[in-house]
Each structure stands twice: as C-alpha cells, then as structure tokens.
Amino acid sequence: MKPPPLDILTPTTIAEALALLSAHGEAARPLAGGQSLVPLLNFRLSRPEVLIDLNRIAKLSFIEERPDHIAIGVMTRERAIEESELIASQAPLLQEATTQIAHLPIRSRGTIGGSLSNADPAAEYPAVALALEFELIAQSERGERRIKAADFFEDVLTTALKPDELLTKIIVPKSPGQSSSAFVEIARRHGDFALAGVAAQITFSAGKPTDVRLAVCGAGSTASRLSAAEEIVLRDGAGVEAIKGASAAAAAAVDPMADLHASADYRRRLVGVMTKRALQKVVQRAGVSA
C-alpha cells in the first residue's frame, strides 16, 4: 500500500503551478486535499509521474463576497465553507451539503476544488454545483476559461478540464431572498458516499415556485439535474401530490449503477425518497402552504 515512485513539486504561485502543469501534461496530477487521490496512489490505481502540490499556493484559498456572487478559491477547505457565515446566509444549500460530506477530519483536509475536479458521481458538491449553477474558472498558460457547471461533469471522475488546466476559482451565485433549499442524502453509514442524495433550490413568489432546481448524486455516471421533477413542481407547485409526482419522476429519470452497497433498483427508489424529503424540507423552510 505504497505509491509507485513519483516526484512532488511544490509551487507557491498559480503561475508556477500552471507552468508545471503545462510542462508535465498528463503525467502530472494536481494534489489538493488528497482525500481521494492519496488512497488511489497508495492502491497504485492512479500512477502520475509528478504530483503538483497546490497546498502552498496561498492565493487559491479564499471565500469572498461580490455583488451577485461568492467567489471561492479551489483550495478552500470544506471545513471553512461549512463554517462560513457568508455561505450560510447567501448560499445555504452549499453550507448544508458541506456538513454532510464524510467526517470532520476529511472535511478539514478536503477542498471544494478537489471534490469538483474529482467528479465522483456520489459526492455532494457536483450536485450542489448543478443546483446552484456554479461557474467554474479554469486557468492554463493558454488563458482563462469560464465553464458552466452543466458543462463541467462529463463522466465518472471525468470533467471538461484539459490536462494543462487547473480549476482555480468557483463562482457561486447568491441565492435569491425568496428562495429556500435543502440537501438530503442517505448512506449505509453516516459519512459514507451517498447511495442517493438530492439538492433542492427553489425560488418562490407569493407561495408559488418560480424557479426550481433539483440535482441528484449517487445515481448515475455524474450528478445530474432532475428536470422532469423540476417541471412538475414548477407547474403544479409543492403540494403533497406534486411532491409525490416529482419524486416518481425523479426515480424514473435516473440510471443508477449497482455496487456492493445497493442494487440499481434500490438506489432508484432512494432517489424518489430523497427527492420527496428534499422538497418537503424546502416547503417547510420556505413556510409556504402546500
């Protein structure tokens, strides 16, 4: 359980990191919090020749308020996001989802950029990114690119990032004042990757949903939006029957994979249950009558 031989490079500026990434290309892997990559190295399932350690680049770690969004540096620890009052008030879905990531020691090392770049389909952040419509800033020596969350997650552990690109900043739109959100998930044990999780972000006007975003994790090759379910809630509101319909639509829409912990069918059923619970929580939090 030791990694194969590799070099660890420790840039202290973004420019330096980009130069290294450009020079080493696919032979390099950026190292963020290491909570997924290090075990993969130890199992020799990931075999980069070079690790570009981002932990000494101070400018990659920040949470900053802008007029209509929050900007988060990719090396911001999950624990810092969990404890940020700014995020709790302006993007509560992100905050709630963060509390459900693994366990405290993992959140203390793990970073938002590492999790998004890793694109584990069962992880919380990709679903939140889709529901809150993050924009992801990727930089390379060739320049800067702004990628919509919807275009970012391509397949299991695969993103739109090119080998010479580094995710550097996350743009989190502020949630509207008339909105409410919830993140619910289920795992066999507390802290495990979700068997199914649902992020819900709904804007209400006079008690009626006007903007509905539902995203699921753990139920396919990537996190995804549950558009059929969204449409039902947008059309029929968030009453008991509509929630039931939306849950059924969510379960029908996903194509989960079976593994040791759950069959595809069980996961599909759980997606329905998590959709229902997320919607119920949103309704309750918004204080709208069903």
Partner 1 sequence: MADTMPSYIGRSVVRREDNRLVRGAGTFVGDMKLDGMVHVAIVRSQLPHAIINGVNLNAARAVDGVELALNGDDLKDVLPPISGMQVTAPKTWRDGMDPRIEIPDQTLVPYDKVRYVGEPYALVVARDRYIAEDAAELIDGDFETLPPIANAEAALDAESLVHDHLPGNIAATLHARKGDGEAALEAAPRRLKRRYFHHRYAAMPMECRGVVAEYDSRTDSITVWSSTQVVHWVRREVANALDMAEERVRVVAPDVGGGFGGKGHVYPEDILVAYLAKRLDRPVKWLEDRHEHLLNAAHSRDNLFDIEVGFDDDGKISVVKNYFLVDSGAYSPVGAAIAGNSIAHFMGPYDIPHYEADCKVMMTNRTPNAPYRGAGRPEVALAMERSIDLIANELGLDPAEVRFRNMIQPEQMPYAVGLPYRDGVMIEYDSGDYPEALRKALDGIGGLEAFRERQKAALAEGRYLGLGLGCYVEGTGIGPFEGATVKIDSSGKVMVATGACPQGQGHETAFAQVAADIWGVDIDDVVVTVADTSHVTMGYGTIASRSAVTGSGAIQESSDKVKEKVFAIAANVLETSEADLELRDGSVGVKGVPDMSMTLKEVARAALPGWIHQRPEGIEAGLEGTAYYEPPTVTWAYAATAAIVEIDAETGAVQIENYVEVHDAGTLINPAIADGQVKGGLVQGIGGGLFEEPSYDEHGQLMTGSFMDYLLPTASDVPPINVIHSETPSPRNAFGFKGLGEGGAIAPPVVIANAVCDALKPFGAELNNTPVRAEDILNILESGAVAAE
* DSSP output for 143-187: EEEEEEHHHHEEETTEES--TT-EEEEEEEEPPPTTEEEEEEEE-
Indicate whether 190 belongs to the interface with partner 1 (CB under 8 A). Answer: yes
**For residue 256, how many other CB atoms are within 10 A of its CB?**
25
Indicate whether 262 belongs to the interface with partner 1 (CB under 8 A). Answer: yes
Measured from the CB atom, is 25 or 39 closer to partner 1? 39
Segment interacting with partner 1, rule: CB under 8 A, options 77-85, 93-101, 106-114, 258-266: 258-266
Indicate whether 122 belongs to the interface with partner 1 (CB under 8 A). Answer: no
Distance between CA atoms of residues 220 and 184, nearest Å? 17
Indicate whether 188 belongs to the interface with partner 1 (CB under 8 A). Answer: yes
> Hey, what are 101's tokens?
């990531």
Query: 3-state DSSP call for residue 234?
Result: helix
Indicate whether 189 belongs to the interface with partner 1 (CB under 8 A). Answer: yes
Measured from the CB atom, is 5 or 287 closer to partner 1? 5
Measured from the CB atom, is 257 or 273 closer to partner 1? 273
Which residue pairs from 79-87 have beta carbons closer than 8 angstroms and sit at least 24 positions apart in sequence? 79/104, 79/107, 79/108, 81/112, 82/107, 87/63, 87/172
Indicate whether 4 belongs to the interface with partner 1 (CB under 8 A). Answer: yes
Indicate whether 198 belongs to the interface with partner 1 (CB under 8 A). Answer: no
Q: Contact residues for partner 1 (CB under 8 A)?
A: 1-5, 39, 43-44, 103, 186, 188-193, 260-263, 266, 269-270, 273, 276
